[in-house]
C-alpha cells in the first residue's frame, strides 16, 4: 500500500562532506518530550527543499539546531560541511535565517533593524541590494517596527535573510501572512537563489508555495523524517478532494464502490464530497455516466495528505 514511499536510505545519500545539511541520528529532548527522535536528514547543494510536517513535529527544532540556537542531545549535525557549534559565527556568515516566530524589537524602526543586522554581518551586505529587496517586497524602511502587521514583519525578516546573498537560506514558514503579490516576489527571490546555485531549506504548510519552489520534500512526524523524495510523486499520490453536484439524486453507493474513493459524504441529496486516492479515471468514468451539474477538484491539501499518511500505522515502520 505504501509502495510509492521512497526514503533517503543511507546508500543513496551523497558522500560525506558534499551535503549542505546532514543530520545523522540526531536526538533532541526537552524534558520528557522527545522533539527529534534519531532524525536523519540530507539536503544536497543547489536544491530547494521543503520541510513539511504538522505543528510540533520538530521542524523548528531541527532548524534551531542547524543555526546552533539549540544543541542536540546526541547525533551529528553538519551544515556546509561544518559542525554548527564549533564553526560558530564563521559558519553563520554563510547562512541566512528567517525564524518561524520572528520577534522584532518594537523599540526600533525597520531601517534601524536592517542596518543593525547588516552591521552584525560585518560588511558582507550591499546596502543597494537591501534597498532593492525592500522595494521588491514592498517594505517601507521608514516605518517603526511596532506599527507593522505580521506580514510586514515577515518581510523585514525576509530582507534580513536574503541581504547577504548567503550560500544557504533557512526559512521557517517564510510567507505566513504575506499577501499574494509579495509571495510571488518571494518565489522569484528563491528561484534566483537556486539559479545562482544556492541552497534553500524551507518549512512550509502552503502547498502552492512548496509546489512552485521545492525540488524535494522531507516530511517529519514526531521528530522522525518519515518520507523524503520528489514533490510531483507525492502530489500524484496525495488524496484528492472532490465535490460533485448531480442533477438528480447522488449515486452514493456507486461512488463508494469506485476504486480509491473514500470519505464520501452527501449534502442536500445532490451534492457529494469525497476523496480520491491515485488516478481519478474510474471516478471520472462514473461521473460521465450521470448528469453532473458541476464538479470541483480543489488543490490537494498537502499537509492533510501527510496527516493521512501519518495515520497509517505501518508508515513509520515502512519509512524506517
Partner 1 sequence: MSPANVELVVRGLRTVRRSALWWTVGVVAFIVINLAFWPSLEGTEALESFGDMEALLEAFGAQNIATPAGYVDGQVFALLVPLLFSAMAITVVTGLTAGDESAGRLELVHALPVARRTVWLGRWTSSLLMLAGVAAVSGLATIACLPLFSLTEVGAGPIVGATFGCALLAAFHGAVGYAAAGLGASRALAAGAGIVVLVAGYLASFVLPISASFDWARSWSPWFWALGEQPVSDGVDPAGMTLVAALTVVLVALGTVAIDRRDIRTA
Using CA atoms, how far residue 277 sits from 6, 231, 296, in Å, is: 18, 16, 15
Segment interacting with partner 1 (CB under 8 A) among 107-115, 209-217, 231-239, 277-285: 107-115
Query: To which H or E segment does residue 275 belong?
Result: strand 271-276
User: By CB under 8 A, what part of segment 273-292 binds partner 1?
Assistant: none
Told to check if 174 binds partner 1 by CB under 8 A, we report: no
Question: Which listed residue (38, 93, 165, 235) binds partner 1 by CB under 8 A?
Answer: 93
Q: Which residues of 171-192 are buried (b: 16+ CB within 10 A; e: fewer)?
A: bbbbbeebeeebbebbbebbee
**Residue 144, all three cell numbers:** 517603526
Question: Which listed residue (27, 54, 82, 108) binds partner 1 by CB under 8 A?
Answer: 108
Told to check if 95 binds partner 1 by CB under 8 A, we report: yes
Which C-beta is closer to partner 1: that of 141 or that of 229? Answer: 141
Environment class of 16 (CB within 10 Å of its CB; exposed 0-12, middle 13-18, buried 19+): exposed
User: By CB under 8 A, what part of segment 209-238 binds partner 1?
Assistant: none
Told to check if 123 binds partner 1 by CB under 8 A, we report: yes
Told to check if 86 binds partner 1 by CB under 8 A, we report: no
Question: Which listed residue (67, 282, 284, 295) binds partner 1 by CB under 8 A?
Answer: 67
E strands, 137-269, in order: 168-172, 199-203, 216-221, 224-230, 240-246, 261-267
Least Å from the CB of residue 25 to partner 1? 19
What's the N-to-C CA distance of the chain in angstroms? 16
Told to check if 105 binds partner 1 by CB under 8 A, we report: yes
C-beta separation of 212 from 200 below 8 A: no
C-beta separation of 68 from 252 below 8 A: no
Question: Which listed residue (39, 59, 79, 92) binds partner 1 by CB under 8 A?
Answer: 92
Smallest CA-to-CA distance from 216 within 228, 203, 207 is with 228
Segment interacting with partner 1 (CB under 8 A) among 7-15, 19-27, 67-75, 203-211: 67-75
Smallest CA-to-CA distance from 94 within 20, 168, 170, 157 is with 168
Which C-beta is closer to partner 1: that of 101 or that of 291? Answer: 101
CA 107, 99, 44, 306: dihedral to nearest 10 degrees? -160
Told to check if 97 binds partner 1 by CB under 8 A, we report: yes
Told to check if 88 binds partner 1 by CB under 8 A, we report: yes
Segment interacting with partner 1 (CB under 8 A) among 96-104, 184-192, 256-264, 293-301: 96-104
Told to check if 267 binds partner 1 by CB under 8 A, we report: no
DSSP 6: -
Which parts of this chain interact with partner 1 (CB under 8 A)? 60, 64, 67-71, 88-90, 92-93, 95, 97, 99, 101-105, 107-108, 112, 116-117, 119-123, 157, 160
Amino acid at each position: 500500500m505504501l509502495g510509492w514511499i521512497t526514503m533517503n536510505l543511507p546508500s543513496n545519500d551523497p558522500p560525506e562532506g558534499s551535503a549542505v545539511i546532514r543530520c545523522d541520528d540526531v536526538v533532541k529532548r526537552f524534558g520528557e518530550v522527545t522533539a527529534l527522535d534519531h532524525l536523519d536528514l540530507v539536503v544536497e547543494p543547489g536544491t530547494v527543499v521543503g520541510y513539511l510536517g504538522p505543528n510540533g513535529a520538530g521542524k523548528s527544532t531541527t532548524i534551531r539546531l542547524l543555526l546552533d540556537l539549540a544543541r542536540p542531545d546526541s547525533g551529528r549535525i553538519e551544515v556546509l560541511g561544518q559542525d554548527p557549534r564549533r564553526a560558530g559565527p564563521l559558519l553563520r556568515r554563510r547562512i541566512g535565517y528567517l525564524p518561524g516566530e520572528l520577534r522584532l524589537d518594537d523599540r526600533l524602526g525597520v531601517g534601524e533593524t536592517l542596518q543593525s543586522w547588516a552591521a552584525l554581518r560585518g560588511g558582507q551586505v550591499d546596502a543597494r541590494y537591501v534597498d532593492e529587496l525592500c522595494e521588491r517586497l514592498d517594505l517601507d524602511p521608514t516605518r517603526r517596527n511596532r506599527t507593522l502587521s505580521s506580514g510586514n514583519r515577515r518581510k523585514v525578516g525576509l530582507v534580513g535573510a536574503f541581504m547577504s546573498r548567503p550560500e544557504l537560506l533557512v526559512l521557517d514558514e517564510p510567507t505566513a501572512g504575506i499577501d499574494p503579490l509579495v509571495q510571488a516576489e518571494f518565489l522569484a527571490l528563491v528561484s534566483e537563489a537556486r539559479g545562482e546555485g544556492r541552497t534553500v531549506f524551507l518549512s512550509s504548510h502552503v502547498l502552492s508555495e512548496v509546489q512552485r519552489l521545492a525540488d524535494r520534500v522531507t516530511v517529519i512526524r514526531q521528530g522522525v523524517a518519515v518520507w523524503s523524495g520528489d514533490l510531483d510523486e507525492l502530489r500524484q499520490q496525495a488524496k484528492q478532494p472532490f465535490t460533485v453536484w448531480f442533477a438528480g439524486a447522488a449515486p452514493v453507493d456507486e461512488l463508494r464502490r469506485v476504486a480509491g474513493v473514500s470519505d464520501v459524504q452527501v449534502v442536500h441529496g445532490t451534492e457529494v464530497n469525497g476523496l480520491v486516492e491515485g488516478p481519478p479515471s474510474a471516478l471520472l468514468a462514473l461521473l460521465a455516466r450521470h448528469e453532473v451539474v458541476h464538479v470541483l477538484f480543489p488543490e490537494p491539501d498537502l499537509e492533510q495528505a501527510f496527516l493521512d499518511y501519518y495515520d497509517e500505522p505501518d508508515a513509520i515502520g515502512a519509512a524506517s
